[in-house]
Amino acid sequence: MPVIPINTPSATYNVTIAPNLLPTLHPRLRKLNPGKPFRPFIITSPNIWALWSKPFLASFKEPPTVLFHPAGERHKRMASVESLAQQLSTAGADRDALLLAFGGGVIGDITGFLAAIYMRGIRYVQIPTTLLAQVDSSIGGKTGVNLATGKNLIGSFHHPQAVFADTDLLRTLPPAELRAGLQESIKAGVIYDAKLFRYMEQNAEAILSASDPTKRNADTKALAKVVAASVRVKAEVVSQDEKESGLRMILNFGHTIGHAIEAATNYKQLLHGEAVAWGSIAALSVAVARNTISEKDANRIVNLILRYGPLPAFKATAEKLVALTSRDKKNRSGIRSFVLPTAIGKVEIVHNVTEPELLAATNAMLTLMHLR
């Protein structure tokens, strides 16, 4: 059972990765809060609760209060935060409340933000149910919600007490959700861990068997290895740069154009990992044009991204996507920050990517999309 520590200046906690964690939750929560009273409140979506409520509640003598929030990026808005905060207040939640984020990235982000601002800050625990959330969004303390003009433009850094990644939860993921999560693992390999990248190249069939409904009983050791390696990348980066002042920005590879794609399609057409995959292909076009990466390595990365597809097509012009990148939260003084690979396992952060470069790269990405 991998237990991976996150050590930052403001918080230290563990990411526990194992099957069958849900039935052991309450003792684990007590261990996190020795001698401290806590009253758990679960924030989840109706579909997740319908699938997993029984094992979740197995270790609780008294059932916690459950608050429901719709799944989907379009519901990650300030109105949702206010609604959940009002429900917490009505249910009598005080500073001893402990929020349990039980869902994918949207549930985790909105619960963390709610915990950051409710009564000026209360405790919470991440219990991610999607692969993307287990390997990325549940770790590092980034919380927030979207505006109509861009993604995660309102938020706060607020770390959980712990992350419990129960790999059994991945068994009920739709294949597209699992594959979208694997795109974040590819990103981890591209930016930091060439060994993980090679493993995903050499073991694609075994890893993807977990996303095949006809092979749900297949050996999931390969997938579990990818989850643990991806978490270690996130842990190492976040531990060195808690609040994205430098190194942590490398985690945004593919996200500048990816977030623009999500905004352009009203968060309805693509999963986050799918949008990031297209954004990564666009970023690679910039890197190849600048000769920061060889065409051979760039082609390896593109081929692996497509191997873990299929990636859905979408409707948007290059001009619209580039315009939307001007609202990216990583921008400083109107200057776009961009993550470009220099080799598999290495990237650089640049601040001088021009609009013509972005237009050319985005057009190349859209051309590839239409050819497939």
Whether 252 is a known active-site residue: answer: yes
Catalytic residue among 272, 274, 330, 336: 272
- Tally the C-alpha atoms within 13 A of residue 274's C-alpha that lie toward its C-beta: 19
Catalytic residue among 142, 158, 232, 330: 142
Cross-strand pairs, 157: 142
Whether 329 is a known active-site residue: answer: no
Whether 142 is a known active-site residue: answer: yes
Q: State the SS3 of the chain.
A: CCEEEEECCCCEEEEEEECCCHHHHHHHHHHHCCCCCCEEEEEECHHHHHHHHHHHHCCCCCCCEEEECCCCHHHCCHHHHHHHHHHHHHCCCCCCEEEEEEECHHHHHHHHHHHHHHHHCCEEEEEECCHHHHHHHCCCCEEEEEECCEEEEEEEECCCCCEEEEHHHHHHCCHHHHHHHHHHHHHHHHHCCHHHHHHHHHCHHHHHHHHCHHHCCCCCHHHHHHHHHHHHHHHHHHHHCCCCCCHHHHHHCCHHHHHHHHHHCCCCCCCHHHHHHHHHHHHHHHHHHCCCCCHHHHHHHHHHHHHCCCCCCCCCCHHHHHHHHCCCCCCECCECCEEEEEECCEEEEECCCCHHHHHHHHHHHHHHHHHC
Catalytic residue among 123, 158, 248, 330: 248
Catalytic residue among 31, 120, 296, 370: 120
Whether 274 is a known active-site residue: answer: no
Catalytic residue among 244, 262, 330, 336: 244
Catalytic residue among 123, 151, 259, 330: 259
| Residues near 359 by beta carbon (within 8 Å), at least 6 away in sequence | 318, 319, 322
Whether 255 is a known active-site residue: answer: yes
Catalytic residue among 73, 177, 184, 274: 184
Contact 343, 297 (CB under 8 A): yes
Catalytic residue among 76, 234, 330, 336: 234
Whether 370 is a known active-site residue: answer: no
Whether 205 is a known active-site residue: answer: no
Catalytic residue among 69, 158, 187, 255: 255
Torsions phi, psi for 351 (to 5 deg): -125, 20
Whether 272 is a known active-site residue: answer: yes
Whether 69 is a known active-site residue: answer: no
Q: What amino acid positions are annotated as catalytic residues? A: 120, 142, 184, 234, 244, 248, 252, 255, 259, 272
